[in-house]
Amino acid sequence: METLDLRGEKCPDTFVYTKIKAEEIGYSGGGKLKVIVDYPPAVESIPRSLAQEGKGYKVLEVKQVAERTYEIYIEIPAFED
């Protein structure tokens, strides 16, 4: 599983980098991605924005691992083309 460490980033950049990485995984056959953030609003906005993409992203789990550190686990399907 790939990990994207976005500690220090705020919205909407947290989503910009998540989306770019998710597409990279999707266009190369799909897989899972762990995103680490320390900006609390991103914990809600990343899953919401992923859902709006309509690409079949699935948020498997959102875990708080430290006082201000969260891990978001995303399943990414294989994209066509």
Partner 1 sequence: MNLNEIKRYSRQLILPDFGTKEQSRLKKAKVAVTGAGGLGCPVSTYLTLAGVGEIHIFDFDRIEMSNLNRQFLYTPEDVGKPKAEMAAKRLSEINPEIKIEGINEKVTYDNAFELLKGYDAIVDGTDNFAVRYAVNDAAVVNRVPLFHGAALMYEGRAMSIIPGETACFRCVFPEPPPAGMIPTCREAGILGSVVGIVGAIQASEAIRYLAGLEIGLKNQLLIINVDEMRFEKVRVAKRDDCTACGEHFIPKPVEDVCTVLPGSEASGVTEGDE
Which active-site residues does the annotation give? 11
Distance CA 2, CA 5 (A): 10
Cβ atoms within 10 Å of 1's Cβ, excluding its own: 10
Question: Which residue from 81, 41, 35, 39 is spatially nearest to 57, judged by alpha carbons?
Answer: 35
Span interacting with partner 1, options 17-25, 31-39, 56-64, 67-75, rule CB under 8 A: 17-25
Query: Of 7, 8, 24, 40, which lies in the binding site for partner 1, with binding defined by CB under 8 A?
Result: 24
Work out whether 12 is an interface residue with partner 1 (CB under 8 A).
yes
Q: What is the pattern of x (binds partner 1, CB under 8 A) and - over residues 41-70? A: --------x--xxx----------------
